[in-house]
């Protein structure tokens, strides 16, 4: 075995690698790009401060409108009326579309947005376009996010009077590593360097850790460990974490998340009010866009009102001779969205279970995000956790404040009063493993493993004289391999021809301190101490856009000829 082990690495853009920064520490800003709203916060030397745009807003709508020659986003642009957002010229909800293929149900649920989301349902990236002067102008989620991030960056640079490069971004728990690369790409397009991508509830956990520390300083709290459940539901995602906090350290015990949010509540309500709305809208004609916009505004408004009142009068003239005039009460809204609330409840139960935490162990339960204003959401959280909701946080600002704290901590800033004496110990939000045992997903690093992490499993061949095996790497929780997120694939070749089950194929997964995932695979034959072929080291993800059909194509081309199975442990 004289040949050196060789390395297969993906291209640089997907890296989370940090360059050595200059001697003077630049404080990274915290950015929360929500599905519906976004915000920027920064450590100002003594506390976290939210930055405001020229219109004095701390929370800005997340959209980009292509109305004029130069696209403009919600940071700088002023909408003349809410309806302008739904004219087809504005692109929004990008966080629901970024890094998804056109077979994804979340993409399909976006097809009745006023702008164009076209799918071919074959696993390529969806076609997205804005209506500009009666022309569908194409764009991509990354481009929209980048335009938006540039506006946020400029806003922060003007206010902080310094160039901004490093950011800590909060992201949904359920984002795959492939989606993370798309976020990193959008940041790179905007001239920003991602210092850290933080699952949203873990940013909230860090803020909670700081608040608990503060209370000890003020002699109000005890120094013992506190366990909190964080429930964060915005327009696009529902994310949860269980955190164990002591001494300013937030240890993430478990994460759970789903692409379930206010947008789903809204769409269910729209369908309820106008049952054939989806079919009506498929063609994306000018009149239908207008109609849909009217319905959307009215429904959104009604949902907001139902948070504070028991019933609401909806009266919307759809302009084509039809008119919806209806009183909707809160029970009706809750009934229409029953499956969503059930989903939320099951996520809470799952997260507590994964954290091995009983309801009685909880010190606090924190409910944040736009949906936290919905009474049913607060009720169901209270119902499951059996304690009152924590009151010390602004539900719309918690995630961005946590991201800003992480930005300061990760930039090496220390505070004389110990306010930055903080740390988050992260856990993996999704399992990472390979396809084996037929079409099964076999996790190698299970979900909720403390990072950095490294784990290995042994596999073997399924055919006699099998000289190659295909390693297909997935991320997710579902037993069927292809229902998880594909991260990449590679072959191990040159395995000596021996009966099936003889070669030991060791697959090792390593997530380092920068959250970079490497997959190593080696082959050993019994009786030998040396690898039969050079060990493969592959940095993941390696897939690029439109990867949905890859797994299927691989299956069609190779069948089970390159399969592997796990080596059973003895009981």
Partner 1 sequence: MYKTKKLWTPLSTVVRRALPTTCHLTPYSPNSQIRSSSSRLETSSRVSLSLHYGHDFLGNLKFSAKSFCSQSAAKVDATTKRCWNCDAVAAGMAPFLYCDSCRSIQPVDFSVDYFQIFGLEKKYEIEVDGLEGKYKDWQKKLHPDLVHSKSEKEREYAAEQSARVIDAYRTLSKPLARAIYILRLEGVLVDEEQTVSDPELLTEIMEIREAVEEAMDSQALNQIQSQMKEKLEGSSSSFANAYRSRNFDEAVTCIQKMTYYQRANEEILKKL
Positions touching partner 1 (CB under 8 A) are 5, 18, 20-21, 25, 195-196, 225, 244, 246-249, 251, 409-412, 421, 423-425, 446, 450, 452-458, 502, 504, 506, 508, 510, 512-514, 518, 520, 522, 524, 526-527, 529-531, 535, 537, 567, 569-571
Give the 3-state secondary structure of residue 362. coil
Q: In terms of Cα–Cα distance, which of 65, 61, 57, 136 is closest to 95?
A: 61
| Residue 148 vs 441, nearer CB to partner 1 | 441
Decide whether 453 or 469 has the Cβ nearer to partner 1.
453
Residue 345 · residue 210 · CB < 8 Å: no
C-beta closer to partner 1: residue 388 or 464: 464
- Distance of closest approach, residue 41 Cβ to partner 1, in angstroms: 18
Name the residue nearer to partner 1 (CB basis): 168 or 291.
Answer: 168
Distance CA(193)–CA(411), nearest Å, equals 12
Instruction: Give residue 392's Cα distance to chain centre.
Output: 25
The structure tokens 């070669």 sit at: 503
Q: Which residue's CB is nearer to partner 1, number 433 or number 548?
A: 433
Which of 169/269 has CB closer to partner 1?
A: 169
Q: How far is the CB of 568 from partner 1 (least distance, A)?
A: 8
Q: C-beta of 367: minimal distance to partner 1 in Å?
A: 25
* Count of other CB atoms within 10 angstroms of residue 518: 16
Integer Cα distance of 120 and 122 in angstroms: 6
- Please state the closest distance from residue 278 (CB atom) to partner 1, in A: 41
Query: Which residue, 28 or 233, is less far from partner 1 as judged by CB?
Result: 28
In whole angstroms, the minimum distance from the beta carbon of 426 to partner 1 comes to: 8
Helix (H) or strand (E) holding 385: helix 375-385
The residues with which 50 forms a beta bridge, in sequence order, are 41
Q: Which residue number, 385 or 507, has a Cβ lying nearer to partner 1?
A: 507
| Beta bridge mates, 520 | 508, 537
Pairing label, strands 63-65, 90-92:
antiparallel
Give min distance, CB of 427 to partner 1, in A. Answer: 11
Contact 564, 36 (CB under 8 A): no
CA distance 448 to 351: 10
Nearer to partner 1, 330 or 454 (CB): 454
Least distance to partner 1 from the beta carbon of 213, Å?
11
Nearer to partner 1, 189 or 565 (CB): 565
Joined tokens for residue 332: 């009706």
Minimum CB distance to partner 1, residue 248 (Å): 7
Beta bridge partners of 198: 170
Count H helices and E strands in the chain, helices first: 13, 29
Residues 124 and 117: their CA atoms lie apart, in Å, by 13
Shortest separation between residue 5's beta carbon and partner 1, angstroms: 6
Peptide linkage before 221 cis (omega within 30 of 0): no
Identify which of residues 213 and 232 has a Cβ nearer to partner 1 in the complex. 213
C-beta of 488: minimal distance to partner 1 in Å? 17
What is the gyration radius of the CA atoms in the chain, in angstroms?
25
Cα–Cα distance measured from residue 208 to residue 399, given in angstroms and rounded to the nearest whole number: 10
Q: Is the peptide bond before 541 cis (omega within 30 degrees of 0)?
A: yes
Distance, in Å, from the CA atom of 280 to the CA atom of 289, rounded to the nearest integer, reads: 10
Query: How many CB atoms lie under 10 A from the CB of residue 495?
Result: 19
Shortest approach of partner 1 to residue 88 CB, angstroms?
A: 43
* CA neighbor of 33 nearest in space, from 138, 164, 158, 150: 150
C-beta of 223: minimal distance to partner 1 in Å? 9
CA distances from 367 to 29, 61, 168, 190 (A): 24, 21, 22, 32
- Comparing CB distances to partner 1, the nearer of 75 and 432 is 432
């Amino acid at each position: 075995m004289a040949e050196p082990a060789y390395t297969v690495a993906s291209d640089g853009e997907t890296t989370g690698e940090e360059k050595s920064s200059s001697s003077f520490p630049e404080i990274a800003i915290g950015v929360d790009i929500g599905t519906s709203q976004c915000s920027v916060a920064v450590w100002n030397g003594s506390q976290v401060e939210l930055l405001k745009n020229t219109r004095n807003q701390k929370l800005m709508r997340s959209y980009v409108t292509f109305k004029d020659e130069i696209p403009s986003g919600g940071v700088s642009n002023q909408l003349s009326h809410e309806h302008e957002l739904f004219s087809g010229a504005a692109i929004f909800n990008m966080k629901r579309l970024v890094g998804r293929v056109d077979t994804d149900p979340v993409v399909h649920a976006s097809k009745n947005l006023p702008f164009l989301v076209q799918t071919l349902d074959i696993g390529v990236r969806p076609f997205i376009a804005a209506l500009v002067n009666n022309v569908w102008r194409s764009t991509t989620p990354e481009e929209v996010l980048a335009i938006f991030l540039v506006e946020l960056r400029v806003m922060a640079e003007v206010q902080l009077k310094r160039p901004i490069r490093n950011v800590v971004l909060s992201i949904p728990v359920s984002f795959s590593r492939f989606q993370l690369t798309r976020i990193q790409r959008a940041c790179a397009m905007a001239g920003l360097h991602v210092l850290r991508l933080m699952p949203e509830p873990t940013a909230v956990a860090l803020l909670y850790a700081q608040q608990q520390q503060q209370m000890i300083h003020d002699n109000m709290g005890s120094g013992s460990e506190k366990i909190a459940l964080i429930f964060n539901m915005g327009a696009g995602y529902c994310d949860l974490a269980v955190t164990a906090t002591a001494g300013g350290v937030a240890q993430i015990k478990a994460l759970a998340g789903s692409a379930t949010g206010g947008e789903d509540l809204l769409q269910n309500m729209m369908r309820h009010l106008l049952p054939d709305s989806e079919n009506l809208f498929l063609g994306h004609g000018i009149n239908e866009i207008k109609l849909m916009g009217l319905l959307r505004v009215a429904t959104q408004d009604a949902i907001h009102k139902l948070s504070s009142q028991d019933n609401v009068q909806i009266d919307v003239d759809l302009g084509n001779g039809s008119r919806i005039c209806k009183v909707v009460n809160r029970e009706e809204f809750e009934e229409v969205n029953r499956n969503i609330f059930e989903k939320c409840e099951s996520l809470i139960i799952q997260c507590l279970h994964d954290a091995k935490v009983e309801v009685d162990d909880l010190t606090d339960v924190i409910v944040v995000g736009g949906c936290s204003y919905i009474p049913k959401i607060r009720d169901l959280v209270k119902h499951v956790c059996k304690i009152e909701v924590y009151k010390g946080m602004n539900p719309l600002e918690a995630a961005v404040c946590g991201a800003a704290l992480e930005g300061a901590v990760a930039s090496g800033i220390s505070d004389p009063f110990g306010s930055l004496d903080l740390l988050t110990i992260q856990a993996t939000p999704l399992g990472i493993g390979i396809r084996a045992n037929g079409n099964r997903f076999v996790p190698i690093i299970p979900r909720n493993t403390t990072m950095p992490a490294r784990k290995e499993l042994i596999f073997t061949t399924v055919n006699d004289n099998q000289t190659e095996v295909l390693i297909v790497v997935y991320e997710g929780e579902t037993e069927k391999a292809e229902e998880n997120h594909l991260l990449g694939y590679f072959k191990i070749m040159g395995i000596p021809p021996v009966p099936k089950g003889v070669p030991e194929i060791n697959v090792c997964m390593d997530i380092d301190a920068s959250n970079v995932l490497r997959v190593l695979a080696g082959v050993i034959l019994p009786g030998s101490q040396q690898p039969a072929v050079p060990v493969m080291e592959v940095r993941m993800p390696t897939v690029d856009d439109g990867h949905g059909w890859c797994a299927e194509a691989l299956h069609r081309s190779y069948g089970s000829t390159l399969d592997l199975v796990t080596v059973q442990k003895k009981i």
